[in-house]
Structure 1
Amino acid sequence: MAILALDHVVPFDMAAPMTVFDWTRLPDGRRPYRVRLCAESPEVRSDGGFGLRVEWGLQALADADTIIVPGCSEEAGPPSAAVLAALRRAAEAGTRIASVCVGAFVLAEAGLLDGLGATTHWVAADALARRFPRVDVRPDVLYVDNGQILTSAGAAAAMDMCLHMIRRDLGSAVAAHSARMSVMPLEREGGQAQFIVHEFPPVPRGSTLEPLLEWIEDHLADDITLAALAARTGMSERTFGRRFREQTGTTPLQWLLRARVRRAQYLLENSDHPVERIARQAGFGSPTAFRERFRRVVGTTPQAYRAAFHGKTDTVPAARS
């Protein structure tokens, strides 16, 4: 297995797969993976402010059965022609290739993601879709497995992808042991959608809708109808809907639903209120409607979201073997 360290590599993106695969053991204690760090040149700058001395060159890619491409910072610039050519040759030879976080941009630059589903960190998903329109970007998942080509979201999601690869290679028992060594579940509920900050497109200052949007934020628990919103602006419903889309890029209903989900996320993170009360406070008609909408937007249940993001300061007990 080769991990390709490009200039300005993100340390965590590089270290996460190195650690997960290095800790993997077969039932008899043997290491099933031999992990090599390789680079185009022996000296590599990291995004963490330190340098790396790398023993293996690009030739290691030709000898590997799996290649992992970590992400790099924006300072890195585009990958070199030599790197892209080495990745293409490896893909043509049938080598499994996976990316971590924005490492997906390198695979896309090499043409390895054309016509395939792929993911990256949610912050960079729109940029990946714009730059590489032939890639089916899926911003709400932790990883995408196309068989030979895999992509993962942020560095933590790379661990999910690596455990998936280990299970695919060696079975669930070995993967479960690797998960325990990494102190993480073998599978996490929900995808990347639960980590996305659902912000709205900025409304220009002085917009005719600015006072209305502020009013909506203050009255999310109320029964708000399209007719009532149009009446507050003095427009017909048809004119109001057209103006709203022009200034916000979405419909009044979609804006309202996103605002309610965002309010519910805040309450789940910062209160101990039961889900039924949060459904009312966020303006959903029933707990069932709330759960369905929340899962559709966030990718997980309100209870699971609270378990992951509630801001409690309780001491976490040490993991046991």
Structure 2
Amino acid sequence: MQTAAERATATGTSRQKFRVGVVLLDNFTLNAFSGFIDALRLAADTGGRSRQIECGWVITGHGALRASCGLTVTPEHEPVDPAQLDYIAVAGGNDYMLRRQPAWLDAYLRAADGAGKTLIGLCTGTFNIARAGLMDGRPACVHWNVRDEFIDQFPGIDTVSDNIFLDTGDRITCAGSTGASDLALHLVRRHCGAERAQQSLRHMILNRQRKASSPQPQFASGAGAIRDGAVRRCINLMEQSLDVTVPLAELAARAGLSERQLARRFHDALGQPPSRYYRHLRLSHGAWRLVHTTDPVMQIAVETGFADASHFHREFRRRYGMPPAIYRKAATRREPHGARKA
């Protein structure tokens, strides 16, 4: 069966090897959308000239759409006939908790699926594909920050949050953020070859393309199994504020509890007070940075919420049994080809 790009090539109208239609939704996440499109754009032509030669894309949607950052975008096209495309990507965003979506989106995605097209969930676009009933029997890769909500809305779908994206053939789901660029490069490499993917990387000043199995930097392992919703919400807040510690009083207020109630519920759920668990998250983040970046220890200490390198060193050694520098060297020996900072 010919791809849409192959059919265009056969008629002499294009040499595109694949073509993607991106459906923008209101409140979409700009980083995931722009990273995905730019990785395609920089691979499609030479010299960053943006001509759709090696691959193609069309940005679609209904009317003016506002990104979650406030930028307003007006797509040139309404959603196009799936027969003209090889992939349909849904660029979701901050409206994933609404639990409803336009009827036209359900109909369009089902038509694309019926035409045998691969559906891509960018960021929370996976929520929209699942809401249309098109993720049944397939695992979904979602960002760790929305995993609880996805499980709550779609309890029958196997949910993955330790990959940056997941390609299962007719569905590709992506946690979003910078992982969307890696997903686009995955498609470029598949259809256009490694050199085109490398060309895009060079233009984006990135050192490497991450694999789908690359981990999401998350540090609250096992938090998904915690039944107490207030504790899970506090853990999510902690993970989003690893550089500047959120005071216990603020955590409690945002959870709708007193400090004493929150401390008791943390102890019931995790066997430790919030402050100790917070320190655990910050140290886990520091350990991840030591292995996956070349940042100086002093910088990591400050950016994980410690007063200085000495404080970080002392707490890190107490937790891991060795100083940060030794931990980094040991990890490098274990994984000589491990990921370094892009």
TM-score range, shorter chain: 0.5 to 0.7
Q: What is the rounded CA distance, in whole Å, between the counterparts of 1:133 and 1:6 in structure 2?
A: 24
- 2:320 maps to which residue? 284
Q: Classify 1:264/1:23 alpha carbon distance in 2 versus 1 (closer, same or farther; 3 Å).
A: closer
- 1:17 maps to which residue? 36
Structure 1 position 304, deviation (Å):
6.6
**Residue 104 of structure 1: SS of its match in structure 2?**
helix
Match of 2:180 among 147, 158, 168: 158
Q: Classify 1:285/1:70 alpha carbon distance in 2 versus 1 (closer, same or farther; 3 Å).
A: same
**Residue 56 of structure 2: SS of its match in structure 1?**
coil
Structure 1 position 184, deviation (Å):
2.0
AA of the residue aligned to 1:13: A
Cα shift readout 1:271-321 (whole Å, capped 9, x = no counterpart): 667x986642x3334579x969xx9xxxx99x979x68xxxxxxxxxxxxx
- 2:169 maps to which residue? 147
| 1:122 paired to 2:144 | yes
Q: Classify 1:112/1:183 alpha carbon distance in 2 versus 1 (closer, same or farther; 3 Å).
A: farther
Q: Classify 1:193/1:173 alpha carbon distance in 2 versus 1 (closer, same or farther; 3 Å).
A: same
AA of the residue aligned to 2:39: V
- 2:216 maps to which residue? 192
Cα shift readout 1:122-176 (whole Å, capped 9, x = no counterpart): 2111101110112211122211111121111132111111111212222222212
AA of the residue aligned to 1:140: D
Unmatched 5+ stretches in structure 1:
211-243, 309-321
**Contact 2:151/2:157, CA 8 A, preserved across alignment:** yes
Cα shift readout 1:31-65 (whole Å, capped 9, x = no counterpart): 221211111x3443443434433232223434211
| 1:167 paired to 2:186 | no
- 1:61 maps to which residue? 82
Structure 1 position 94, deviation (Å):
1.7
Q: What is the rounded CA distance, in whole Å, between the counterparts of 1:147 and 1:257 in structure 2?
A: 39
**Residue 69 of structure 1: SS of its match in structure 2?**
strand
**Residue 249 of structure 1: SS of its match in structure 2?**
helix
**Residue 155 of structure 1: SS of its match in structure 2?**
coil
Structure 1 position 106, deviation (Å):
0.7
**Residue 39 of structure 2: SS of its match in structure 1?**
helix
**Contact 1:139/1:192, CA 8 A, preserved across alignment:** yes
Pair member with larger Rg: 1
**Contact 1:163/1:186, CA 8 A, preserved across alignment:** no
Q: Classify 1:111/1:184 alpha carbon distance in 2 versus 1 (closer, same or farther; 3 Å).
A: farther
Give the TM-score of the pair, scaled to structure 2: 0.62
| 1:44 paired to 2:80 | no
**Contact 2:219/2:285, CA 8 A, preserved across alignment:** no
**Residue 119 of structure 2: SS of its match in structure 1?**
strand
Structure 1 position 70, deviation (Å):
0.9
Identity %: 24
**Contact 1:4/1:69, CA 8 A, preserved across alignment:** yes
Q: What is the rounded CA distance, in whole Å, between the counterparts of 1:12 and 1:154 in structure 2?
A: 8
Q: Classify 1:45/1:258 alpha carbon distance in 2 versus 1 (closer, same or farther; 3 Å).
A: closer
- 1:176 maps to which residue? 198
- 1:5 maps to which residue? 24
AA of the residue aligned to 2:215: G
| 1:265 paired to 2:254 | no
Give the TM-score of the pair, scaled to structure 1: 0.66
Which one is further off, 56-65 or 95-104? 56-65
Q: What is the rounded CA distance, in whole Å, between the counterparts of 1:209 and 1:8 in structure 2?
A: 32
- 2:269 maps to which residue? 249
| 1:134 paired to 2:156 | yes
**Contact 1:71/1:101, CA 8 A, preserved across alignment:** yes
Q: Classify 1:276/1:168 alpha carbon distance in 2 versus 1 (closer, same or farther; 3 Å).
A: farther
Q: What is the rounded CA distance, in whole Å, between the counterparts of 2:170 and 2:128 in structure 1?
A: 16
**Contact 1:139/1:193, CA 8 A, preserved across alignment:** no
- 1:237 maps to which residue? none
Q: Classify 1:180/1:85 alpha carbon distance in 2 versus 1 (closer, same or farther; 3 Å).
A: same
AA of the residue aligned to 1:173: E
Match of 1:84 among 101, 106, 109: 106
How many residues are paired up?
264
Match of 2:95 among 62, 66, 74: 74
